[in-house]
Amino acid sequence: MLKAIYPGSFDPMTYGHLDILKRASLVFDYVIMAVVGNPSKSSLLPLTKREELIKLVIQDIPNVKVDTFEGLTVDYAKKNKVKVLIRGLRAISDFEAELGMAQTNKELYPELETIFFMSKAQYSFISSSTVKEIAQLGADVSQFVPNPVNEFLVNHFNLHNK
């Protein structure tokens, strides 16, 4: 069985994340969407809420499991006996950072291979940071995030989807 992990903060999950996940689920037998909790970072959504929303979004993808972890991704991969890590690339600027991360991960866990999925053009400009900022300023983000995430953000920020 060929399994992979798709790690990230997913704070919040976007359509870009969902697109990468769906495409990866067609390539791999089993994908773990590993939601990273980083206590030193200020997150918009608590880790448990991110996990809950993602589970709602991906419930129709049978070979995907959602899990959470803190610490190094390579440690999580080793613990779960996963040797493939999925990352999404939106733009050339992502590549530089992702390449460095992939090389570092390879040093820490030589058996781990990083597979990059290019974002579809329609999602190439969407980032969780941008979505957070738009939502915090009171604007509609429904075109950028799956419905359960949008509903949470609308309620969280008392938005009215103008």
Residues with a catalytic annotation lie at: 17, 41, 90, 128
Could you tell me if 80 and 32 are in contact, meaning their C-beta atoms sit under 8 angstroms apart?
yes
- Beta pairing partners, 4: 31
C-alpha span between 66 and 59 (Å, rounded) = 10
What is the Cα–Cα distance from 121 to 86, expressed in whole angstroms?
A: 18
Neighbour order of strands in the sheet with 64-69: 64-69, 30-36, 3-8, 84-89, 113-118
